[in-house]
Amino acid sequence: MTNSIALITGANKGIGFETARALGSAGITVLLGSRSPERGEKAAAELTVDGIDARFVHLDVTDEDSIQQAAGGLDQLDILVNNAGISPAEASVLPSAIPLSALRHTYETNVFGVVAVTNAMLPLLRRSPAGRIVNVSSELGSLIMLTDPESPFFPFNLLAYNSSKTALNGITIAYAKELADTPIKVNAANPGYCATDLNAHSGFRSAAQGAAEIVRLAMLTPDGPTGTFTGGSNDQLGAPLPW
C-alpha cells in the first residue's frame, strides 16, 4: 500500500478518525473528509503530530458542490471509506410516528451521500492499481438479525437508521457487481456497537476497535473478496454477517 491515498468521510471524530489513524500508521496518506473545516483541520493536525501524513478535505456528503470540489482537488485515490453516518434523535421513534423529514435527513447522509461520493470518486479509483471501497454498515442493517427473536438486535426497531444500513448493504452489492471485472473491491464493514457521538457514547466497543474491520477491508490484497458484509462485535475480523 506504499504511496496509497485514502479518503475517509466523516473522519474528524469517532470511527472515521480512528480509521484514518490506523491507515495513516500503515504508511497511507489519509484525507480526512469533514463538513466542519475547524474540526477537520484540528483532527488532521492531531494525526500529523503523531507522524501521519494527514490532510483535511472539506466534504459534506449531502452537498453535491462540496463533493465535486473535493473530487476535483484530487489527482489520485486508492481507498474510499464511506464512513459518514447519522441517526437523528427525531428519527428514534416508533415507525408509525417518524416524521418524513427525519427519514429523508437520515437517507441523505447514510444512503444518497454514499452514492454521490462514490460516483464522484470512482474515476480516480478506476485509475488505481488496487482500488478499495469500504462502506461502513451495521448489524442493524441485517434483515436476518432484525427478524430473529433470538438476536440481540431484534428489539432495536429504528426504521430510519436500520433501513438506511440495509439500503447501504444493497448499494455495496450493486457496486461490487458492476466493478467485478476491475481491481476495485467493494465491501461493507460492521464496526460493532462502538462508543461514539452517534449513540451518546453508550457503545461497549471503542472507536479504534470498530475501525479494525474497516482497515482490514481497505487493505485487502488482490486475492481478497468483494461484495461481502463482515465484522463482529467481538473483534472477529472478517467474520461474515447475514444480509
**Among all residues, which ones are annotated catalytic?**
161, 165
State the Cα–Cα distance between residues 32 and 55, nearest whole angstrom: 6
Q: Which residues fall within 8 angstroms of residue 217, CB to CB, at 6 or more apart?
A: 132, 134, 185, 187, 189, 224, 230
Q: If you search the block for the grid coordinates 464512513, which residue do you land on?
A: 83
Question: How many residues appear in the chain?
Answer: 243
DSSP code at position 49:
H
CB of 102 within 8 A of CB of 124?
Answer: no
Strand ranges inside 25-180, DSSP E: 29-34, 54-58, 79-82, 132-136
State the Cα–Cα distance between residues 136 and 83, nearest whole angstrom: 5
